[in-house]
Amino acid sequence: MWDKIEHNGYEVWVLPILAYGPPAPTTLWHYSAYICRHGSDAHLAGQSFRFQELVATFGSEEAAREAGYVEGKRRVDMMVDGGTVAGNG
Find out whether 29 and 18 touch, Cβ atoms under 8 Å. yes
Average pLDDT, integer, range 24-42: 89
**Global confidence as pTM:** 0.84
Q: Residue 62 domain-assigned?
A: yes
Q: What is the number of domains present in the chain? A: 1
Average pLDDT, integer, range 29-52: 89
pLDDT tens across 14-32, in order? 999 999 888 788 889 999 9
**Cβ contacts of 34 within 8 Å, gap of 6 or more:** 12, 13, 42, 48, 49, 50, 51
Q: Residue 20 domain-assigned?
A: yes
The boundaries of the domain holding residue 74 are: 3-80
Backbone angles phi, psi at 74, to 5 degrees: -60, -45
Q: Residue 68 domain-assigned?
A: yes
pLDDT tens across 52-63, in order? 999 999 999 999
Find out whether 68 and 11 touch, Cβ atoms under 8 Å. no
Q: Residue 86 domain-assigned?
A: no
Q: Residue 38 domain-assigned?
A: yes
Most confident of 37-46, 47-56, 80-89: 47-56
pLDDT at 87: 53
Q: Residue 52 domain-assigned?
A: yes
